[in-house]
Chain A
Amino acid sequence: MTAVWSLNEIQSLAHKAVRGSGYGWGVAEDAGQAVRWLLARDLPGADAVLAVCEAGARSAPETCPLTIGCALSDGLFPVLEFGTRPVVSPLLILPFLAWRAERDKVSLSLSWQGCDFVVGTCGELSVKGKTLNPGAANLTISAAVADRADHVREAYRASVDCEVYVALSRFAGRTYAPSTQASRESGAGAGLTDND
């Protein structure tokens, strides 16, 4: 069953879930923004990030979409040198590549078997194919010409499967400290009567 959420809710959830699965806060911030970017284009970003959380931060960095994504948006290497490589949850790479395209002012294509994306220099996106969110794929990045006629409309709501939401919440929950009596009494700073 799918439910509708605000983009903020799912961004915040993904941010915490990625942190809860062992990544640093900084990577988690980018992950939250990437998930929001995908959901705002009606792409299954929450499902994709859940797979990364389940693999955990100790999975191989060379196939981790968050590690590769950050390197791509940071400009660690010339983007066309990426070529073709195996990547887990490759959909998560898409926002990072879009940010790179905007920065370098060059349209780029991201593809795997059954799916082909083109990101333009002003945030345009076009999609061909149905295999949007494979668990893993051989990902190819290449130069492209943005197709302005066929770009994805931006959405302001996030449709997320309830089971995915619950699973992400479990990872997010790892960032919460268990309550103690002392924290209840002092943590929030209340103490005086507040009923006057």
Chain B
Amino acid sequence: MEELQLRKVNTRDPNVVMRLARLGSFHQSRLSFMRILLRRLKAENWRFERTKFEIDARGVGVAVYTAIGPKRSYSLIAFAHDLPPQERSDRVIATAWDATFTLFDGVPEVSDIERLSKNIPVQEAGRVTQSELSVSRANRSARLWYYVVDCLSKGRQPSLQKVQDVGYLMRTTAVYGSGKLGAADREWTCGREEFLAPFQIEMLTVYLIRTFVMDLVEHMAQVRSPKTAVTLDAGLRRRFGIGNSTGLGMAPFLINHPILLNNWIAAREEALARVRSVHRADDEAQSVFHLSLRRAQQNAACWRSDHVIQKNKVATLIRDLDVLSEYVQGGALDRDDPWDCLWSWAESSLSVEGQEQLVSLLFEPYPQLVDELSDCMAADETANMRIDGAMSAGRLAAITREIYDWALEINWDSPDAQARVWYVSEEKLEPRLGERSDGDLNDYEQPLGPGRDVARMYADLASCKAETVAAFLMLYPQHRHAVRRTQVAARFPYAEIRDNTIASDMLPIDLLRAKLSYFGAGHFDPRSDRWVRVNMFQNAPFPNELAQALFDDWAVPELDETNR
């Protein structure tokens, strides 16, 4: 094992990694937040109890699920509603949902549930307290929900094909944490081991939502026809995930949290470099890799999307995985430095989509090299956002040229270069993307085009006599944002996306996919260039199955009979 611990290979160049097209090709991996969560829940033997399930025949009521860890407990409080189909919308502008949720810090009293029953069902129109860690809502997939209720009530199992076609009975349209609507701030919980990795509160919320939704669908079949109804077979039950419908609201997140972005990417790049540094791949590592590859091939083959961009990407991925499979079956893993050689081959033989899938596959044989890096993915953003005013103006110019050379080469006077405007709409207070040529939006522009903003800053810096950054900012306070980004990017190599985020051909779904891949989502299904649906926790063991399930082996389905 000693040889595993020496890293000979360097991490990848940010200029290669931090491009939108590559970020938009990321896949889930061992460092995804859902997998980190379930590893912990299993390793620490968390227990789960359904302490309340009071849902009537119309499907209206409340349920409580408590997760009990070694030090603390958390409870999902779920409110089920009877929503007329015409009111069902995934848009953030919706005002009613099929179900609404909060993750409660501890075990709620009756008075807590009473208080929350007035606030959670109305979501943004309500208020919560420091006892609530998240607020969320979900809508049914109408096409699958009624079919499954119908089948189960008649004593039949739904068809696997129909289940696979949709993949979930409900999809969340928002999972709010970090102080939203009055919920607990991250500082309140960030000292707890179980919430050290990012988004663990949100992932635990969704994991428990999935359990509730499955119980609810079986309950609805039961009340419809108590004599004939059956529950879902365990194997089929696992095929249901929770859908997630994500629009532009999430897109600016990665730009607004550069240090967090760096830490996510840096952990993944460190893991890749560690695996590439392994001198010999033993039989077990090879066998895990081969199996993971076959599972990825099967998984890609059933990835459905109607979006032309995604269809092409999936087709390319399938072809890449075939080429990869052929290559590694020819003994390519028996040589010295097998993974580094494989990587070099992949860089010239696979598309970006295939390369990034390979990154995830390379992690699977090496949990001992990869999994601990999940501890490095959180960020103290406040402490690292202070401007270093003592830096010389010359040094600022030098790091700007080094990090933003791509932005300094863009002709920002060209209409295509800044065709888009990120703004926040008065109506829903959500991020939106507009066309600059439509006029009227310039005054409302959000600082989400770092390339252009830094280029403007650099132009003034070049013509300014100030000797220090502090003096420069006294003369040009309007560049404070760009200077901060530049200094952050100089300290954190993967903090900045090295692409034009306001260009005419920019695809917001690239930003969405990058973030959702870190959540651990698969089967990205864009509905437009700025809105994507995914599935979360599909194939994961349910809470009552965790103890018996294989360790962290759920993210890609097992091989079907035909593929074994």
Contact = CB atoms under 8 A, between A and B. Distances in A.
Interface of A: 4-9, 23-27, 29-30, 33, 40, 67, 70-71, 73-76, 99, 103, 156-157, 173, 175-179, 182-184, 186-192, 194-196
B557 interface: no
A102 to B, nearest CB: 9
A195 B470 contact: no
Given A73-B387, A76-B389, A175-B424, A188 B470 contact: no
Nearest to B528: A189
Contacts of B470: 71, 74-76
Interface string B385-402: 111111000000000000
B309 interface: no
The 5 closest A-B CB pairs, nearest first, are A26-B480, A74-B389, A189-B530, A8-B179, A6-B179
Interface stretch (B55-63, B112-120, B438-446): B438-446
Interface of B: 85, 88-92, 129-130, 139, 141-143, 178-180, 182-188, 245, 247-249, 382, 385-390, 423-427, 429-430, 432-434, 438, 440-441, 444, 446-447, 468-471, 473-474, 477-484, 508, 527-531
A29 B481 contact: yes
Contacts of B477: 23-24, 26-27, 67, 70
Contact of B92 (A9, A73, A188): A188
A195 B187 contact: no
Most chain B beta-carbon neighbours within 10 Å: one of A6, A182, A183: A6
A26 to B, nearest CB: 2
Contact of A188 (B184, B247, B386): B247
Given A178-B426, A179-B427, 19 more contacts: A4-B182, A6-B130, A6-B180, A8-B178, A25-B480, A25-B481, A26-B473, A33-B382, A175-B424, A176-B423, A177-B441, A179-B426, A187-B432, A188-B531, A189-B247, A189-B527, A189-B530, A194-B245, A195-B90
B511 to A, nearest CB: 12
A67 B470 CA distance: 11
Contact of B480 (A27, A103, A187): A27
A99 B481 CA distance: 18
A187 B425 contact: yes
B182 A6 contact: yes
Given A73-B386, A76-B474, A187-B434, A26 B482 contact: yes
A179 B469 CA distance: 39
B389 A75 contact: yes
A156 B178 CA distance: 12
B184 A156 contact: yes
Given A182-B438, A195-B89, A177 B179 contact: no
A6 B185 contact: yes
B512 to A, nearest CB: 10
A189 B426 contact: no
28 contacts: A5-B182, A7-B179, A9-B179, A23-B477, A24-B479, A26-B477, A33-B382, A71-B389, A73-B386, A74-B387, A74-B389, A74-B469, A75-B470, A156-B130, A157-B130, A176-B425, A177-B426, A184-B427, A187-B425, A187-B434, A188-B249, A188-B430, A189-B529, A190-B528, A190-B531, A191-B527, A195-B90, A195-B139
Given A26-B480, A183-B425, A187-B425, A194 B91 contact: yes
A103 B425 CA distance: 39
A54 to B, nearest CB: 19
Contacts of B527: 189-192, 194
A33 B481 CA distance: 14
A21 to B, nearest CB: 14
A47 to B, nearest CB: 20
Pick the most buried of A26, A30, A71: most chain B CB atoms within 10 A of its CB.
A26
B183 A6 contact: yes
B385 A33 contact: yes
Nearest to B87: A195
Contacts of A157: 130
A195 B85 contact: yes
Q: Pick from B182, B429, B471 the residue with the most CB of A within 10 Å.
A: B182
Contacts of A4: 129, 182
Contacts of B433: 187, 189
Given A189-B248, A195-B142, A9 B386 contact: no
Contacts of B388: 74
Contacts of A186: 434
Given A29-B484, A71-B474, A76-B471, A9 B182 contact: yes
Contacts of A184: 425, 427
A189 to B, nearest CB: 3
B123 to A, nearest CB: 15
A18 B319 CA distance: 52
B432 A74 contact: no
Given A26-B484, A33-B382, A196 B188 contact: no
B248 A188 contact: yes
A24 to B, nearest CB: 4
B93 to A, nearest CB: 8
A188 B530 contact: yes
Contact of A196 (B142, B248, B482): B142
A195 B88 contact: yes
A177 B481 contact: no
B483 to A, nearest CB: 7
Contacts of B481: 24-26, 29
